[in-house]
Amino acid sequence: MRKIEQQMNTAINREIDWKCANTEVTNIDGVSYVYLHGNKIAEVGDTWMQLFDGGWQSNTTKSRLNALLRGHGIGGESVFQKNHVWQFRMSDGSVIPFFSGMRLN
């Protein structure tokens, strides 16, 4: 995991606002909002997470989402690309299409 992604997850854990380079975390009423280049890519609550592609299915977006999943999701969850299409691997190993706005509990 990249240093910036570790710092992002730490800010979420501490429920503090944080910004570094192209990544920002804003906390409002116990929910962390994560932005990449000003585009929302995630909302993280105590028991849930909502993922967005921010309009850009880039390698950096995918890397940030996977860092969030490692830090705040269930083991084994990940976003990956197959044949130029984003997919989501569930904790049980099953795969579903990724869609912006998907919510995980």
pLDDT digits (tens, 9 = 90+) for 65-95: 999 999 999 889 999 999 999 999 999 999 9
DSSP string, 24-82: EEEEETTEEEEEETTEEEEEE-SS-EEE--TT---HHHHHHHHHHHHHHS-TT-EEEEE
Using a 10 angstrom Cβ sphere, with 0-12 exposed, 13-18 middle and 19 or more buried, the burial of residue 63 is middle
pLDDT digits (tens, 9 = 90+) for 17-73: 999 999 999 999 999 999 999 999 999 999 999 999 988 999 999 999 999 999 999
Which token pair is 8? 């992002």
What pTM value is reported for the model? 0.95
